Amino acid sequence: MHDVFTEYAVAFVITNPQQLGATLKGLRKQKGLTQIQMAKQIGLGQKTISLLETEPWRCSVDSLLRYLSAVDVAMSLDFIAALRSGGRGEW
Protein backbone atom coordinates (compact mmCIF):
# COMPACT_ATOMS: atom_id res chain seq x y z
CA MET A 1 0.00 0.00 0.00
CA HIS A 2 1.34 3.44 -0.92
CA ASP A 3 1.29 6.43 1.37
CA VAL A 4 -0.67 9.35 -0.14
CA PHE A 5 1.58 11.88 1.60
CA THR A 6 4.73 10.54 -0.09
CA GLU A 7 3.27 9.69 -3.49
CA TYR A 8 1.25 12.77 -4.41
CA ALA A 9 1.09 16.49 -3.87
CA VAL A 10 -1.95 17.11 -1.71
CA ALA A 11 -3.59 20.50 -1.19
CA PHE A 12 -5.31 21.33 2.06
CA VAL A 13 -7.72 24.26 2.10
CA ILE A 14 -7.75 25.59 5.63
CA THR A 15 -10.50 28.09 6.45
CA ASN A 16 -10.44 28.22 10.24
CA PRO A 17 -8.11 27.59 13.18
CA GLN A 18 -9.79 24.31 14.14
CA GLN A 19 -9.12 22.88 10.67
CA LEU A 20 -5.50 24.01 10.88
CA GLY A 21 -5.00 22.34 14.25
CA ALA A 22 -6.65 19.09 13.17
CA THR A 23 -4.62 19.02 9.95
CA LEU A 24 -1.36 19.60 11.82
CA LYS A 25 -2.15 16.83 14.29
CA GLY A 26 -2.99 14.44 11.44
CA LEU A 27 0.24 15.24 9.63
CA ARG A 28 2.29 14.67 12.79
CA LYS A 29 0.59 11.34 13.44
CA GLN A 30 1.12 10.35 9.80
CA LYS A 31 4.86 10.78 10.47
CA GLY A 32 4.52 8.55 13.53
CA LEU A 33 5.69 11.27 15.93
CA THR A 34 4.47 12.05 19.42
CA GLN A 35 4.18 15.68 20.48
CA ILE A 36 7.36 15.29 22.53
CA GLN A 37 9.28 13.81 19.58
CA MET A 38 8.06 16.59 17.31
CA ALA A 39 9.02 19.23 19.86
CA LYS A 40 12.57 17.86 20.17
CA GLN A 41 12.92 17.58 16.40
CA ILE A 42 12.07 21.23 15.75
CA GLY A 43 13.42 22.82 18.93
CA LEU A 44 10.13 23.80 20.54
CA GLY A 45 8.40 22.77 23.74
CA GLN A 46 5.72 20.09 23.87
CA LYS A 47 3.27 22.73 25.08
CA THR A 48 3.84 24.72 21.87
CA ILE A 49 3.14 21.62 19.77
CA SER A 50 -0.07 21.07 21.73
CA LEU A 51 -1.09 24.71 21.20
CA LEU A 52 -0.41 24.49 17.46
CA GLU A 53 -2.76 21.52 17.30
CA THR A 54 -5.51 22.92 19.53
CA GLU A 55 -5.23 26.73 19.55
CA PRO A 56 -3.00 27.66 16.60
CA TRP A 57 -3.92 31.35 16.81
CA ARG A 58 -1.88 31.52 20.03
CA CYS A 59 1.38 30.49 18.33
CA SER A 60 3.93 32.36 16.26
CA VAL A 61 4.33 32.05 12.51
CA ASP A 62 7.87 30.83 13.19
CA SER A 63 6.52 27.91 15.24
CA LEU A 64 4.00 27.07 12.52
CA LEU A 65 6.66 27.13 9.80
CA ARG A 66 8.99 24.90 11.84
CA TYR A 67 6.15 22.44 12.36
CA LEU A 68 5.24 22.42 8.66
CA SER A 69 8.86 21.86 7.68
CA ALA A 70 9.10 18.85 10.00
CA VAL A 71 6.09 17.21 8.32
CA ASP A 72 7.34 18.10 4.82
CA VAL A 73 4.55 20.57 4.09
CA ALA A 74 4.86 23.96 2.42
CA MET A 75 2.37 26.73 3.09
CA SER A 76 0.74 28.55 0.20
CA LEU A 77 -1.45 31.63 0.46
CA ASP A 78 -4.34 32.23 -1.91
CA PHE A 79 -4.38 36.00 -2.35
CA ILE A 80 -7.06 35.89 -5.05
CA ALA A 81 -9.63 34.49 -2.64
CA ALA A 82 -8.67 37.09 -0.05
CA LEU A 83 -9.17 39.89 -2.56
CA ARG A 84 -12.57 38.56 -3.60
CA SER A 85 -13.76 38.50 0.00
CA GLY A 86 -12.61 42.05 0.61
CA GLY A 87 -9.50 40.88 2.44
CA ARG A 88 -11.44 39.42 5.34
CA GLY A 89 -11.37 35.75 6.05
CA GLU A 90 -13.37 33.68 8.49
CA TRP A 91 -10.78 34.37 11.22
Domain layout of the chain by residue ranges = 4-84
28-76 per-position pLDDT tens digit: 999 999 999 999 999 999 999 999 999 999 999 999 999 999 999 998 8
9-32 per-position pLDDT tens digit: 678 788 899 999 999 999 999 999
pLDDT of residue 85: 60
* pTM (two decimals): 0.76
The fold of the 4-84 domain, in CATH, is 434 Repressor (Amino-terminal Domain) (1.10.260)
CA distances from 39 to 9, 24, 30, 67, 91 (A): 25, 13, 16, 9, 26
Higher pLDDT, residue 16 or 89: 16
